[in-house]
């Protein structure tokens, strides 16, 4: 549908992402659909996701950038703001979206959310409860998940 | 024959007024002297005159009277009212009109409220409303690149800036505005496209960047004004776009009286305060509480508590649907006594017989069983008493509405059957049916009202609390006057003001109910048996009872006040 007429904005964003990548984040469009990106985010150091690499998918809807991109974790992650399907609770992906935000800024925000989980605004209540009542146990579980599901492939 | 029926109708009136006098302070509004005189005159007219045009229209006028103070208008006619308010605020606060609009919006369109908080901390309220920079614009950065589409070399004319200094190209503005309009009514709260910038977008930017979308944007502004300004309401009629505006009074939030709007376009009648169907004598808050109660699952919980018990062995909930107290659990086959939930084996001659265990007798001797289950059951029975009647009249109202829709056909048939009769001669049937619908509606709500009339003060609906407050004041005045009369009555225990009120209320209700049923019966007869005079007069009588009922409540349940 949009194969031939990809908006200039998306073309430029993609070019910049490839030419000037963000440290610890990679985003590559699929050849058969330039609005669909394979994303990998390295777990931030000093977090319970350290040493892990998390795969995500990102899709730019037809009305992007007036509407926010759709982003979802593919790798299992133990996080109070991510549910079992990998959906993310992040304000800039919803009501705080601005057309002046970009793929780059969105992915940086997700990385920041991994460094600083917000159990007071949870998407997964059971995870959030553990996070609030027994943080040590929550961090332990998150590390275990990271080791089991997000280990770097050698 | 019609005269005969007529007589009996008058009988009714007289019986009523007789009762009136005998029951001390029961003098009713509907039947005060002047009213009954008027009624007699109309009754006579009814039997003498064949053409009933005058009467029908006087009935119609009476219904219209409720619409006092309400103007029905088109949405665009209310626009000047909104503009006037915006311009006034703009002048007084010395800010652009585009800044006045969001400020008014964040203060429910009340100028006074806005001025008050403006003097307290204008910086904060400007920020909260998203007009901080609109009141003190910052210089827009000269740029030829749009940060949304990444286009560079954009001409100055193609860039549209916000007062906060951010600017974007016209094409991106169009996209942003369209996306916000697609979100619906919330588009009027849309902010600057710059990330986390809280300055709101207004009609100024829409006009500059997307004039073709201005009309739609402004229609959302107007919609919000109508809904929030506190003196107007959209007609709830399906597809109707008229607005009912309250011309005077303290606005829609004042719950102390009821004002019925009558849409001149789609003929929908509605309460301008809450938008529901007219619900006198119940006030809006009480209606809300009643509706919530009826929808609420808690009544089901009450029922379960009152009518079931858990099996003492397996804890399954068991409903007792027959008289026998010897229970056998369907699930675990345990046999037990319903009364004491003890094992049935132990019930015999030594415990007072199978169907008469001593624990039962003991419980029965208690004057008021205070257990939770018993309390819940009492409350449930009380609620069911009122709800079943509310429901019955609600169903009857629906039936009467359907019948009203068929009336026209009936009227044509009736006209054909009776030679030399004109349309006005058969119009009485329509009036009667309209009256029936209205009476059913009022009766329906009297049962919700009645329910709250007897609720203990703790859980009382706010309306009632107010009513009681007034009562206690008035009661002090009145008690002296009443005392003498009460003494004459030789009542062993003087009734409390509340009990008297309840009795009077129920009396009004009963009369309205009785005459409504009469009218119902008369109207539902086969066409050939319909007695015109009887229907016409019963319609008038019922109308008086209905108004009397509502007036009694409106006057604070004080007779002759």
Three-state helix/strand/coil letters over B487-499: HHHCCCCCCCHHH
| Residue of A8, A63, A105 lying closest to B149 (CB–CB) | A8
On the question of pLDDT at B318 being above 90, the answer is: no
On the question of pLDDT at B469 being above 60, the answer is: no
Most confidently modeled of B233-247, B327-341, B457-471? Answer: B233-247
Beta carbons of B149 and A96 less than 8 Å apart: no
Report the residue of chain B nearest A97, measured CA to CA.
B195
Task: Find chain A residues with C-beta within 8 A of B176's C-beta.
Answer: 66, 99
Cα radius of gyration (chain B): 33
Cα radius of gyration (chain A): 16
Q: Which neighbouring-strand residues pair with B232?
A: B245
How close does chain B come to A15, measured CA to CA in Å? 12
Does domain B2-20+28-67+376-554 fall into CATH 1.20.120?
Answer: yes
Q: What is the ipTM of this complex?
A: 0.84
Q: Is B200 helix (H, G, I), strand (E, B) or coil?
A: strand
User: Is residue B195 within 8 Å of residue A100, measured between CB atoms?
Assistant: yes
Pairing of strands B70-74, A70-73: unpaired
B 170-199 near A (Cβ less than 8 A): 172, 175-176, 178-179, 193-197
The sign of the torsion formed by the CA atoms of A86, A89, A93, A94 equals positive
B297 band by pLDDT with thresholds 50, 70 and 90: low
Q: Which of A64-78, B25-39, B325-339 is the least confident region?
A: B25-39
What is d(CA B335, CA B100) in angstroms, rounded to the nearest whole number?
Answer: 76
Is there a domain that residue A45 lies in?
Answer: yes
What is d(CA B386, CA B452) in angstroms, rounded to the nearest whole number?
Answer: 10
| Residue of A8, A67, A100 lying closest to B179 (CB–CB) | A67
Where in chain B are the domains?
2-20+28-67+376-554, 75-227, 311-367
What is d(CA A28, CA A21) in angstroms, rounded to the nearest whole number?
Answer: 10
Distances in Å between the Cα of B9 and the Cα atoms of B2, B12, B14, B372, B540 are: 11, 5, 9, 49, 11
Question: Buried b / exposed e across A65-100, counting CB within 10 Å, b at 16+?
Answer: bbebbebebebebbbbbbbeebbbbbebbeeebbbb
Out of A53, A89, A101, A108, pick the active-site residue.
A89
Question: Measuring CA to CA, which residue among B161, B163, B166 is closest to residue B196?
Answer: B166
Beta carbons of B194 and A98 less than 8 Å apart: yes
Distances in Å between the Cα of A83 and the Cα atoms of A33, A54, A61, B320 are: 26, 15, 22, 46
Residues 6+ apart with CB under 8 A from B420: none
What is d(CA B543, CA B547) in angstroms, rounded to the nearest whole number?
Answer: 6
CA B434 to chain centre: 19
DSSP string, B330-351: TTT--EEETTT--BGGG-SGGG
Per the rule left: phi > 0, alpha: psi between -120 and 50, beta: everything else, A50 is beta
SS3 content of chain B, % helix, strand, coil (to 5): 60, 5, 30
Q: Is B105 helix (H, G, I), strand (E, B) or coil?
A: helix
Beta carbons of B195 and A98 less than 8 Å apart: yes
Beta carbons of A105 and B195 less than 8 Å apart: yes
E strand or H helix at B80, and its extent? helix B79-93
Q: Which two tokens stand for residue B140?
A: 């827009």
A56 lies in which domain range?
Answer: 8-149
Average pLDDT (B449-476) is 51
Task: Find chain A residues with C-beta within 8 A of B148's C-beta.
Answer: 9, 65, 99-100
Q: Which two tokens stand for residue B349?
A: 């001659």
Is there a domain that residue A1 lies in?
Answer: no
Is there a domain that residue A2 lies in?
Answer: no
Q: Is B420 helix (H, G, I), strand (E, B) or coil?
A: coil
Does domain B75-227 fall into CATH 3.40.50.720?
Answer: no
DSSP string, A63-130: TTTTSPPEEEE-S----TTB-TT-BB--GGGTTT--TT--HHHHHHHHHHHHHS--TTS-SSHHHHHH
Say whether A48 is catalytic.
Answer: no
On the question of pLDDT at B488 being above 50, the answer is: no
What is d(CA A113, CA A82) in angstroms, rounded to the nearest whole number?
Answer: 10
User: Is residue A56 within 8 Å of residue A73, measured between CB atoms?
Assistant: yes
What is d(CA A124, CA A121) in angstroms, rounded to the nearest whole number?
Answer: 9
On the question of pLDDT at B459 being above 60, the answer is: no
pLDDT in single tens digits along all 154 residues of chain A: 444 578 889 999 999 998 888 889 999 999 999 999 999 999 998 899 988 999 999 999 999 999 999 999 999 999 988 988 999 988 899 888 999 999 999 999 999 999 998 887 777 778 888 888 888 888 999 999 998 998 876 5
On the question of pLDDT at B528 being above 60, the answer is: yes
SS3 content of chain A, % helix, strand, coil (to 5): 35, 20, 45
Beta carbons of A96 and B196 less than 8 Å apart: yes
- In a mutational test of the B interface, the residue from A13, A99, A104 whose CB has the highest number of chain B CBs within 10 Å is A99
- In a mutational test of the A interface, the residue from B179, B186, B191, B197 whose CB has the highest number of chain A CBs within 10 Å is B179
- In a mutational test of the B interface, the residue from A10, A65, A103 whose CB has the highest number of chain B CBs within 10 Å is A65
Report the residue of chain A nearest B171, measured CA to CA.
A66
Confidence (pLDDT) at B43: 37
HSE at residue B5, side-chain half, CA atoms within 13 A, is: 15
State how many domains chain A has: 1
- In a mutational test of the B interface, the residue from A100, A102, A103, A109 whose CB has the highest number of chain B CBs within 10 Å is A100
Task: Find chain B residues with C-beta within 8 A of A13's C-beta.
Answer: 150
Confidence (pLDDT) at B324: 57
Question: Measuring CA to CA, which residue among B4, B23, B60 is closest to residue B539?
Answer: B60
What is d(CA B304, CA B373) in angstroms, rounded to the nearest whole number?
Answer: 9
Beta carbons of B179 and A63 less than 8 Å apart: yes
Q: Which residues of A touch B (CB under 8 A)?
A: 7-9, 12-13, 63, 65-67, 92, 96, 98-101, 105
Q: Which residues of B are catalytic?
A: 324
On the question of pLDDT at B181 being above 90, the answer is: yes
| Residue of A13, A66, A92 lying closest to B179 (CB–CB) | A66
Question: Measuring CA to CA, which residue among A50, A45, A3 is closest to residue A146?
Answer: A50
Report the residue of chain A nearest B195, measured CA to CA.
A98
Task: Find chain B residues with C-beta within 8 A of A8's C-beta.
Answer: 149-151
B64 band by pLDDT with thresholds 50, 70 and 90: very low
- Chain A, chain B: beta-carbon pairs less than 8 Å apart: 37
Task: Find chain A residues with C-beta within 8 A of B149's C-beta.
Answer: 7-9
Task: Find chain A residues with C-beta within 8 A of B168's C-beta.
Answer: 100
**B150 part of contact set with chain A, CB < 8 Å:** yes
Beta carbons of A100 and B193 less than 8 Å apart: yes
Query: Which class for B115: exposed (0-12), middle (13-18), buried (19 or more C-beta within 10 A)?
Result: middle
Is there a domain that residue A74 lies in?
Answer: yes
| Residue of A8, A67, A105 lying closest to B150 (CB–CB) | A8
The mean pLDDT value of chain B amounts to 74
B350 or A120: which leads in pLDDT: A120
Q: Which neighbouring-strand residues pair with A38?
A: A28, A57
- In a mutational test of the B interface, the residue from A7, A9, A63, A66 whose CB has the highest number of chain B CBs within 10 Å is A66
On the question of pLDDT at B543 being above 60, the answer is: yes
Task: Find chain B residues with C-beta within 8 A of A92's C-beta.
Answer: 195
Is there a domain that residue A131 lies in?
Answer: yes
What is d(CA B154, CA B26) in angstroms, rounded to the nearest whole number?
Answer: 84
Confidence (pLDDT) at B557: 80
Confidence (pLDDT) at B31: 37
Report the residue of chain A nearest B174, measured CA to CA.
A66
For residue A64, the domain's CATH number is 3.10.110.10
Task: Find chain B residues with C-beta within 8 A of A67's C-beta.
Answer: 179
Confidence (pLDDT) at B7: 39
What is d(CA A90, CA A75) in angstroms, rounded to the nearest whole number?
Answer: 18
Instruction: Quick: pLDDT tens for B93-148.
Output: 999 999 999 999 988 888 888 898 888 888 899 999 999 999 888 777 778 889 99
């Amino acid at each position: 549908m949009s194969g031939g007429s990809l908006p200039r904005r998306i073309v430029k964003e993609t070019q910049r992402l490839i030419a000037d990548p963000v440290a610890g984040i990679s985003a590559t469009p699929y050849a058969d659909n330039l609005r669909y990106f394979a994303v990998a985010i390295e777990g931030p150091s000093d977090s319970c996701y350290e040493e892990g690499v998390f795969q995500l998918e990102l899709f730019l809807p037809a009305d992007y950038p007036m509407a926010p991109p759709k982003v979802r974790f593919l790798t299992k992650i133990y996080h109070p703001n991510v549910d079992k399907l990998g959906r993310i609770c992040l304000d800039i992906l919803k009501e705080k979206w601005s057309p002046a935000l970009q793929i780059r800024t969105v992915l940086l925000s997700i990385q920041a959310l991994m460094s600083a989980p917000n159990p007071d605004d949870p998407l997964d209540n059971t995870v959030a409860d553990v996070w609030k009542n027994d943080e040590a146990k929550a961090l332990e579980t998150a590390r275990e998940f990271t080791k089991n599901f997000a280990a770097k492939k050698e | 024959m019609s005269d005969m029926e007529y007589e009996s109708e008058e009988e009714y009136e007289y019986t009523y007024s007789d009762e009136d006098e005998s029951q001390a302070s029961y003098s009713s509004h509907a039947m005060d002297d002047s009213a009954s005189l008027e009624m007699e005159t109309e009754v006579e007219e009814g039997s003498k005159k064949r053409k009933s045009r005058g009467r029908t229209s006087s009935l119609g006028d009476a219904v219209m009277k409720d619409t006092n103070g309400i103007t029905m208008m088109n949405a665009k006619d209310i626009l000047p009212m909104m503009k006037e308010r915006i311009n006034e605020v703009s002048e007084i606060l010395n800010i652009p009109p585009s800044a006045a609009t969001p400020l008014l919006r964040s203060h429910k369109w009340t100028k006074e409220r806005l001025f008050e908080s403006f003097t307290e901390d204008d910086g904060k309220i400007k920020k909260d409303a998203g007009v901080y920079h609109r009141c003190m614009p910052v210089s827009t950065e000269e740029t030829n690149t749009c940060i949304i589409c990444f286009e560079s070399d954009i001409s100055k004319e193609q860039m549209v800036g916000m007062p906060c200094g951010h600017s974007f190209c016209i094409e991106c503005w169009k996209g942003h505005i369209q996306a916000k309009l697609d979100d619906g009514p919330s588009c009027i709260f849309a902010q600057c496209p710059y990330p986390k910038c809280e300055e709101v977008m207004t009609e100024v930017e829409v006009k500059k960047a997307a004039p073709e979308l201005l009309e739609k944007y402004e229609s959302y502004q107007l919609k919000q004004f109508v809904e929030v300004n506190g003196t107007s309401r959209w007609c709830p009629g399906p597809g109707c776009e008229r607005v009912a505006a309250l011309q005077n009074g303290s606005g829609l939030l004042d719950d102390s009286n009821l004002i019925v709007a009558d849409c001149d376009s789609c003929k929908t009648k509605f309460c301008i305060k809450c938008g529901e169907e007219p619900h006198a004598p119940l006030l809006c808050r009480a209606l809300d509480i009643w509706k919530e109660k009826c929808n609420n699952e808690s009544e089901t919980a009450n029922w379960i508590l009152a009518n079931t018990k858990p099996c003492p062995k397996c804890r399954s909930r068991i409903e007792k649907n027959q008289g026998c107290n010897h229970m056998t659990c369907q699930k675990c086959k345990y046999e037990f006594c319903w009364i004491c939930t003890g094992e049935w084996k132990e019930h015999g001659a030594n415990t007072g017989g199978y169907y008469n265990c001593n624990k039962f007798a003991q419980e029965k001797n208690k004057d008021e069983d205070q257990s939770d289950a018993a309390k819940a059951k009492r409350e449930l029975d009380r609620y069911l008493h009122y709800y079943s009647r509310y429901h019955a009249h609600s169903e009857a109202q629906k039936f009467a509405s359907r019948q009203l829709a068929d009336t026209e056909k009936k009227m044509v048939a009736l006209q054909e059957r009776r030679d030399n009769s004109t349309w006005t001669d058969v119009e009485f049937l329509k009036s009667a049916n309209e009256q029936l619908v209205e009476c059913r509606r009022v009766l329906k709500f009297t049962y919700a009202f009645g329910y709250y009339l007897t609720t203990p003060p703790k859980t009382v609906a706010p309306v009632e609390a107010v009513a009681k407050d007034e009562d206690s004041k008035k009661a002090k005045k009145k008690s002296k006057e009443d005392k003498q009369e009460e003494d004459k009555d030789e009542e062993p225990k003087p009734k409390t003001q509340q009990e008297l009120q309840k009795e009077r209320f129920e009396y009004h209700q009963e009369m309205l109910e009785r005459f409504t049923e009469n009218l119902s019966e008369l109207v539902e007869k086969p066409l050939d048996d319909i007695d015109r005079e009887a229907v016409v007069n019963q319609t008038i009588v019922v109308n008086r009872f209905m108004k009397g009922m509502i007036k009694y409540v409106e006057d604070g349940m004080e007779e002759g006040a």
